[in-house]
Chains A and B, each alone.
Chain A
């Protein structure tokens, strides 16, 4: 099946640091990638939808200047958490899909656990 690689899997850093997370589709071209955040004991919350070659669409309440998303190619999207603070500590998960194939499932990366000290 389709494989989505996410890196790094775990990040621990000091408050104020910017952190970049990469999401790659390894065996298919992903026109659309999604970024989710999951706090303990809660479900996945969609942060933004990233389409290759265009600006990301952010969900209500998500600060686009804090969570920078770049989708420069059909196989790579990046999420940068700028000036991270302890409240940004969470499990960040990306998924990838193909635009127009809404019946087809999204494929998830393994997630990145971000801990801000």
Chain B
């Protein structure tokens, strides 16, 4: 069974700090990795996706992928209270587009 694991949190960081969110996956055949942000009562919105080993940066967000360790992470620099949400890690293990979601990590950024 293909699994995606995240710490459920809550993860609490002060405003301006770096928030680090982690995700591991079980299937070595996984090809693409996505981070979604979900505010309470809303549907997920895409933050970043990555499919090559290494780092990918977009503004305050950096996604890191290590396929050997089956590990993907999301760093949020200069965290803001508006970043407070649940962050969902999702993995696509084939070209069909089917995503397997982790249980999500709740992030709280304190002013």
- Which residues of A are in contact with B by a Cβ distance under 8 Å? 6, 32, 34, 42-46, 49, 93, 95, 97-103, 105-111, 113
**Interface SS majority for chain B:** loop
Q: Which 3 A-B pairs have the closest CB atoms?
A: A102-B95, A111-B43, A97-B97
Partner-binding segment picked from B11-19, B74-82, B100-108: B100-108
Min Cβ gap A23→B in Å is 11
Count A/B pairs, Cβ under 8 Å: 63
Asked whether A111 lies within 8 Å of B42 as measured between CB atoms, the reply is: yes
- Which residues of B are in contact with A by a Cβ distance under 8 Å? 31-32, 34, 36, 41-46, 49, 51, 88, 92, 94-104
Asked whether B97 lies within 8 Å of A102 as measured between CB atoms, the reply is: yes
Q: In the complex, A93 Cα to B101 Cα: how many Å?
A: 13
Instruction: Please pick, from B31, B44, B45, the residue contacting A103 in the complex, using a CB distance under 8 A.
Output: B31
Q: A109-B43, A111-B43 are in contact. Are A103 and B88 (CB under 8 A)?
A: no
Asked whether A103 lies within 8 Å of B101 as measured between CB atoms, the reply is: no
Q: A103-B31, A103-B32 are in contact. Are A93 and B99 (CB under 8 A)?
A: no
Q: Which A residue's beta carbon lies closest to that of B43?
A: A111
**Besides A34-B98, A44-B88, 10 other A-B contacts (C-beta < 8 A):** A34-B97, A34-B99, A43-B101, A46-B101, A99-B97, A101-B97, A102-B94, A103-B32, A108-B43, A111-B42
Most chain B CB neighbours (cut-off 10 Å) among A34, A46, A95, A108 = A108
What are 13 A-B contacts with C-beta separation under 8 Å?
A6-B43, A32-B96, A43-B101, A44-B44, A46-B98, A49-B96, A49-B97, A102-B32, A102-B94, A103-B49, A107-B46, A108-B36, A113-B41
Q: In the complex, A99 Cα to B95 Cα: how many Å?
A: 7
Min Cβ gap A11→B in Å is 15
Q: In the complex, A104 Cα to B84 Cα: how many Å?
A: 26
Min Cβ gap A110→B in Å is 5
Asked whether B51 lies within 8 Å of A103 as measured between CB atoms, the reply is: yes
Asked whether B103 lies within 8 Å of A43 as measured between CB atoms, the reply is: yes
Min Cβ gap A97→B in Å is 4
Asked whether A93 lies within 8 Å of B43 as measured between CB atoms, the reply is: yes
Asked whether B43 lies within 8 Å of A100 as measured between CB atoms, the reply is: no
